[in-house]
Amino acid sequence: MEVRENFNLKAFNTFGIDCYSKYFSTFESVDELKSLLEKFPNEKLLILGGGSNILFTERNFDGLVLYNQIKGFDIIDESDGFVSVKSGGGESWHQFVMKCLEQNYGGVENLSFIPGSVGASPMQNIGAYGVEIKDIFEKLEAFHIKTKEIHTFNKDKCEFAYRESVFKRKLKGQYIILNVTYRLTKKHHSLKTDYGAIKDELKKQNINSPTIQDISRVVISIRESKLPNPKEIGNAGSFFKNPIVSTDILVELQKHYAHVPNYPVSNDKVKLAAGWLIEKAGWKGKVFGNYGVHKKQALVLVNYGGAKGNDIYSLSEQIIQDIQEKFGVTLEREVNIL
Ligand code: FAD
Ligand code: EPU
């Protein structure tokens, strides 16, 4: 548990931005966490997982970065058809998914290949290809920074919504997620293959009765074909959320574009594809020196090497303004800005 000073976080954020933290330390247990907080009672804190959903906009982080390395993969309850798996928050999310699939535990397959840690997975209720973690979530334990108590959160208490949870809103900055328990199927898996790209890829590969492992493989190949690998091009996945708008806005858009992608949310609300809007506004593939908008996925802003967080943030401002002017739709950032 060595505390490093003036530590470069470049390798700890998938955007690959240079940012120096005043202090940096890993923690592998609650005891280590407690002793670090005792040693630095007044420092500003940043809890870091895989750094795959943050953008540093300052040259320095004037505080203590706590890098979560709490491990563990334990079965805490099991019946004929279900299993409850508790994972340490510092485990890699994708490795957790792979371990579940090795045991033939179902429910996580559509969420294969999402970067980051298990501890951050409830933060924005990660989702992909028709599944969100709320669909399989059982509970989590989190450390309350102020009282040093450990509190248990069930699904209701987490207030999950699309890319949202209570930890991103009301309780922002108050808790450190230590472990998460997911309830998975052991048999009679409920497969989610409705998402267009999954259906098409299964058909292409002539898979008529897919297993959970087949779905995982297909999801990985779709993701690899669209999303830039952060090891090659810095990025944090979707920079913006898909906006949820009134059906009036959709009707207006349909006057100009007959085939606007949209997904019903309620009677009078639809979710639009931010990537589609950004592409239609002409931003897709634009390069501005060492940063830009990804050429295969307009929702992903990229650092080609050496860009400053502020440049990427300014680009996101320009995109938000342009989409507002062109379509009357307000985009909201998904990435956490620091
Ligand atoms: P970090 O970036 O380290 O942290 C994110 C936020 O959570 C920060 O505010 C941090 O302080 C806080 N935090 C982290 N750990 C804890 C903890 N233990 N306790 C309390 N707070 C904590 N997301 C999706 O939902 N779906 C996708 O399909 C998807 N695809 C992606 C593809 C790529 C190529 C990339 C780079 C990102 C993608 N993301 C996706 C975003 C990202 O992977 C997820 O948001 C992921 O859960 C972030 O995990 P992390 O450990 O890297 O979090
Ligand atoms: N589209 C375009 N142009 C683009 C990108 C997308 O027209 O440049 C259109 C597509 O043709 C499609 C629609 O937009 O009709 C949706 O595209 P896609 O299926 O690629 O998904 P997305 O809405 O862009 C969301 C999530 C991803 C998640 C995928 C798969 C958000 C903000 N993003 O992307 O999550 O992996 O669906 O489920 O909800 C992330 O959160 O970081 C992330 C990558």
Q: Please report, for the domain that includes residue 64, its CATH number.
A: 3.30.43.10
250 and 321 inside one domain: yes
What is the DSSP pairing of strand 336-337 with strand 54-55?
parallel
pLDDT of residue 225: 93
56 and 112 inside one domain: no
C-alpha 230/C-alpha 121 separation (Å) is 18
pLDDT digits (tens, 9 = 90+) for 104-119: 999 999 999 999 999 9
Q: Does 228 reside within a domain? A: no
pLDDT digits (tens, 9 = 90+) for 7-56: 999 999 999 999 999 999 999 999 999 999 999 999 999 999 999 999 99
Q: Does 262 reside within a domain? A: yes
Q: Using the 3D structure, point to which of 127, 158, 185 is the last residue of a domain.
A: 185
When pLDDT is cut at 50, 70 and 90, the band that residue 252 belongs to is very high
190 is catalytic: no
Q: What percent of the chain has pLDDT over 90?
A: 99
Q: Does 40 reside within a domain? A: yes
Q: Using the 3D structure, point to which of 68, 96, 119 is the last residue of a domain.
A: 68
64 and 118 inside one domain: no
In short, whether 101's Cβ falls inside 6 Å of ligand 1 is no
Q: What percent of the chain has pLDDT over 70?
A: 100
59 is catalytic: no
pLDDT of residue 162: 96
pLDDT of residue 18: 97
Residue in 299, 300, 319, 332 to alter for ligand 2 test, most ligand atoms within 8 A of Cβ? 299
Decide if pLDDT at 195 tops 90: no
Q: What's the average model confidence in pLDDT over 47-71?
A: 98
Q: Does 223 reside within a domain? A: no
pLDDT of residue 1: 77
In short, whether 219's Cβ falls inside 6 Å of ligand 1 is no
Closest ligand 1 atom to 142 CA = 19
Q: What is the mean pLDDT of the chain?
A: 97
163 is catalytic: yes
83 and 180 inside one domain: yes
49 and 89 inside one domain: no
Distance of alpha carbon 155 from the chain centroid: 18
11 and 95 inside one domain: no
Decide if pLDDT at 196 tops 90: no
pLDDT of residue 188: 95
pLDDT of residue 147: 96
CA 298–ligand 2 middle distance (angstroms): 9
Closest ligand 1 atom to 13 CA = 2
pLDDT of residue 61: 98
81 and 180 inside one domain: yes
Closest ligand 2 atom to 241 CA = 32
What is the DSSP pairing of strand 336-337 with strand 287-288?
unpaired
47 and 96 inside one domain: no
- N-terminal to C-terminal alpha carbon distance within the chain: 25
As for how many domains the chain has, the answer is 3
Decide if pLDDT at 283 tops 80: yes
pLDDT of residue 265: 92
Q: Does 211 reside within a domain? A: no
Query: Which are the contacts of 88, defined by CB distance < 8 A and separation ≥ 6?
Result: 70, 71, 72, 73, 118, 119, 178, 179
Instruction: Kindly report the protein residue whose alpha carbon is nearest to atom 25 of ligand 2.
Output: 128
Q: Does 208 reside within a domain? A: no
Range of the domain at 27: 4-68
Q: Does 304 reside within a domain? A: yes
Q: What's the average model confidence in pLDDT over 329-337?
A: 97
**CATH assignment at residue 288:** 3.90.78.10
82 and 54 inside one domain: no
In short, whether 127's Cβ falls inside 6 Å of ligand 1 is yes
50 and 78 inside one domain: no
In short, whether 120's Cβ falls inside 6 Å of ligand 1 is yes
Q: What's the average model confidence in pLDDT over 54-76?
A: 98
Q: Using the 3D structure, point to which of 19, 35, 68 is the last residue of a domain.
A: 68
Closest ligand 1 atom to 50 CA = 52
Q: Tell which residue, 140, 15, 134, has the closest CA to residue 68.
A: 140
273 and 302 inside one domain: yes
In short, whether 122's Cβ falls inside 6 Å of ligand 1 is no
pLDDT digits (tens, 9 = 90+) for 307-320: 999 999 999 999 99
Q: Which is catalytic among the residues 132, 163, 165, 216? A: 163
CA 118–ligand 1 middle distance (angstroms): 9
When pLDDT is cut at 50, 70 and 90, the band that residue 233 belongs to is very high
Decide if pLDDT at 68 tops 80: yes
111 and 145 inside one domain: yes
Q: Does 207 reside within a domain? A: no
